[in-house]
Structure 1
Amino acid sequence: FAGEVVEVGRDVPFKPGTYLAPDTLITCGECYYCKRHELSLCDNLALLGLMGDGGLAEYCKAPISMCIEVPQSLSLEYAALAEPLSVAVRAVRKSRLHVGETVAVFGGGTIGLFCLQIALSAGASAVYVVEPVPWRRELALQLGASGVIDPKACDPVDELRRLTKIGPDVVLEACGLPEVMPTTIDAARKAGRIVLLGIPGGKSSIDFFKVVVTEKEVIGSMSHVYDEDFSTALRLVAEGRIDGEKLITHRISLDRLVEDGLEHLEKHPLDTLKILVRPHN
């Protein structure tokens, strides 16, 4: 989320009226992982918005360390997209994508479509999106996908192998479906890299024999780090290198959050990408 500073504590460099995009991860700074700057692995990790008021409150308190000033050229609406975009930035970073490599993205939701754009920005020669919902496949093409695959109409592993000859160099799993995760591993070429960034709602069964004999790498990617991924995401949005407007499917006011936001998302998940909430109408 993003907002305007209305009050500051002692020795805070930001002035009232400044626009900030706060990170959402609150870390302890003391554990083994914090000292290694692996902040998303903090043993005492907390989230702004869960353990304290966040972007869906009129006011919230944010630690100075997690706040980044929004460039004057960037609207607060687009600055609010930096947090989900940073999840995609981290996933592509962890994939070690090289210029000219091919990528498959499983899932054409917000994070998956951000992964598509980040992979292209990072130099992928081709990015294919696997998504069952027709309008999301069409949107992926508008955002630069080299091709889209309907997993209900064909075997995505076979189709990706046909398109790339040997399978994608990198596979990004952004749907969070346990039954899809084994497919994402099968889809990568031998010695390919698979990054799992979707949050699965249950357990999954994986044939690790195939992973061993094909020397594939399965990599987990959790959220983001503020001064690596989050700051990069904000800069990419500000520079116009990411199309966030097409991913905003709804704009609502805070007083309609439950009816037009949370309940709508629960009842119509396939018709929704990002719901942008304004504190005032």
Structure 2
Amino acid sequence: MSAGDARAVEFAAPRDVEVIDIPVPTPGPGEVLVETTLSAVSAGTELLVYRGDLDRQTVADEELAALNGDFSYPLRYGYSVVGTVASVGDGVDPVWEGRTVFGFNPHESHFLADPNDLHPVPDGLTPETAALFANAETAVNFALDGAPRIGERVAVFGQGVVGLLTTAIIARSAAETVVAVEPRDRRRELAADLGADRTVDPTDVDAAGVVRDLTGGADLAVELSGRPETLEVAVESTRFDGRVLVGSWYGTKRAELGFGDHFHRDRVTVTSSQVSSIAPELRGRWDRERRRETAWRELERLATDRRIGDRLVTDRVPVGDAPAAYRRLAADDADTLQVLFTY
């Protein structure tokens, strides 16, 4: 095959996305060639890349082989691809050929991978639902780090794809109450359908006060809005010795925050959580393999019980229209939730 047979999404500069032709690679020894069916846009992180809101010297992800560069332009980014193994190189078990797999790879129509870096999609799971796997693993990580105890009250701020998955997973934990805070009507409806006991529209209200009224003060607040100013609201929503888990990646975005008397006197703890690593206190019992097995089980359960793929996927976009898709996401279209590129 020659150049032009394959395509890739490339961030050429801030707010400048191109779909470029690339040659279809040939698998070498120990490699397989994956032909992409679809890839999921992780709106929170990818909009940081699109807008230029990341330090360009930051390593994209040291744990993923396909993302071992930094955020200097031009770059290819993304980490949720579902496709079929089209061919295998020398030394690879032929059983891989024809398998439907998930890969942590940028938006490309064809890519090479070590089979050890791929994840066979469980039988019965659609490619659309399987494309949510990376976000499901992130949600599992938040649940592990937040560790809601029996009888605790939890508030989840932000009900994008990761927020909704986190709400759904924590809702079946030992927590007594889960409150979802989100300004968009449809996302609050989805949060309630996925297990939130109460929902709060933070528009034109004291959201922290409403959460405190509903919970008596949250034991755990999970901040997933992507807005640094929401962190102060999350802190103010907690009770004495409350915990705030920050899963948002703010990049270079800044906001004026005022952590006043409540934060200082009530011993509120603010902790970051990020899926690239396992919390130190869990590493004796948890590793990435166990966490990923858990994420697949949670995704299968949500697909069976809640039709999660049908509910979260709002846009299926031919990859050639990727520039328009990012413009729509950046415009904060209220109807857009999960965007999938099709190939």
Name the TM-score class by shorter chain: 0.7 to 0.9
> Which is further off, 143-152 or 4-13?
4-13
- Give the unaligned 5+ runs of structure 2: 1-80, 278-287
Residue among 197, 215, 235 paired with 1:146: 197
Return the alpha-carbon distance in structure 2 between the equivalents of residues 58 and 11 of structure 1.
24
3-state SS of 1:169 partner: strand
> Which is further off, 130-139 or 207-216?
207-216
Cα deviations across residues 19-68 of structure 1 (Å, max 9, x unaligned)?
1112x3xxxxxxxxxxxxxxxxxxxxxxx32xxxxxx2111123333322
Correspondence for 1:182: 232
**How far is 1:182 from its partner?**
1.2
Correspondence for 1:272: 336
> Which is further off, 138-147 or 75-84?
138-147
Return the alpha-carbon distance in structure 2 between the equivalents of residues 212 and 257 of structure 1.
46
Q: Indicate conservation of the 8 Å contact 1:224/1:230, yes or no.
A: no
Return the alpha-carbon distance in structure 2 between the equivalents of residues 93 and 149 of structure 1.
24
Tell me: CA distance 1:276–1:191, structure 2 relative to 1, closer, same or farther (3 Å).
same
The alignment yields a C-alpha RMSD, in angstroms, of: 2.2
Return the alpha-carbon distance in structure 2 between the equivalents of residues 11 and 118 of structure 1.
39
Q: Does 1:15 align with 2:66?
A: no
Q: Indicate conservation of the 8 Å contact 1:78/1:244, yes or no.
A: yes
Tell me: CA distance 1:236–1:12, structure 2 relative to 1, closer, same or farther (3 Å).
farther
**How far is 1:142 from its partner?**
2.2
Return the alpha-carbon distance in structure 2 between the equivalents of residues 173 and 229 of structure 1.
21
Q: Indicate conservation of the 8 Å contact 1:171/1:194, yes or no.
A: yes
Tell me: CA distance 1:268–1:207, structure 2 relative to 1, closer, same or farther (3 Å).
closer
Q: Does 1:249 align with 2:311?
A: no
**How far is 1:213 from its partner?**
2.9
Q: TM-score, normalised by structure 1?
A: 0.80
**How far is 1:208 from its partner?**
7.2
Correspondence for 2:246: 196
Q: Does 1:171 align with 2:233?
A: no
**How far is 1:222 from its partner?**
1.5
For 1:191, the aligned partner's letter is D
> Which is further off, 232-241 or 103-112?
232-241
Correspondence for 1:101: 152
Return the alpha-carbon distance in structure 2 between the equivalents of residues 191 and 65 of structure 1.
42
Residue among 57, 82, 88 paired with 2:139: 88
3-state SS of 2:275 partner: coil
3-state SS of 2:196 partner: coil
- For these two proteins, the number of residue pairs brought into alignment is 247
**How far is 1:206 from its partner?**
4.9
Q: Does 1:262 align with 2:326?
A: yes
**How far is 1:221 from its partner?**
1.1
> Which is further off, 268-277 or 90-99?
268-277
Residue among 219, 222, 234 paired with 2:271: 219
Correspondence for 1:43: none
Correspondence for 1:3: 83
3-state SS of 2:232 partner: helix
For 2:338, the aligned partner's letter is K
Q: Indicate conservation of the 8 Å contact 2:179/2:197, yes or no.
A: yes
Correspondence for 1:132: 183
For 2:296, the aligned partner's letter is L
Q: Indicate conservation of the 8 Å contact 1:86/1:224, yes or no.
A: no
Tell me: CA distance 1:197–1:119, structure 2 relative to 1, closer, same or farther (3 Å).
same
Correspondence for 2:293: 231
Q: TM-score, normalised by structure 2?
A: 0.66
Return the alpha-carbon distance in structure 2 between the equivalents of residues 161 and 215 of structure 1.
16
Return the alpha-carbon distance in structure 1 between the equivalents of residues 153 and 116 of structure 2.
36
> Which is further off, 132-141 or 183-192?
132-141
Q: Indicate conservation of the 8 Å contact 1:90/1:224, yes or no.
A: no
For 1:222, the aligned partner's letter is Q
Cα deviations across residues 105-152 of structure 1 (Å, max 9, x unaligned)?
111211111111011132322211111122222222222211111112
Q: Indicate conservation of the 8 Å contact 2:172/2:195, yes or no.
A: no
- Give the unaligned 5+ runs of structure 1: 25-47, 50-55
**How far is 1:270 from its partner?**
2.8
> Which is further off, 267-276 or 78-87?
267-276
For 2:117, the aligned partner's letter is M
Return the alpha-carbon distance in structure 2 between the equivalents of residues 74 and 136 of structure 1.
23
Return the alpha-carbon distance in structure 2 between the equivalents of residues 6 and 99 of structure 1.
47
**How far is 1:94 from its partner?**
0.4
**How far is 1:82 from its partner?**
0.7
Of the two, which has the highest radius of gyration? 2
Q: Indicate conservation of the 8 Å contact 1:100/1:125, yes or no.
A: yes
3-state SS of 2:267 partner: coil
Cα deviations across residues 211-246 of structure 1 (Å, max 9, x unaligned)?
453222211111345424333222222233562321
3-state SS of 1:180 partner: helix
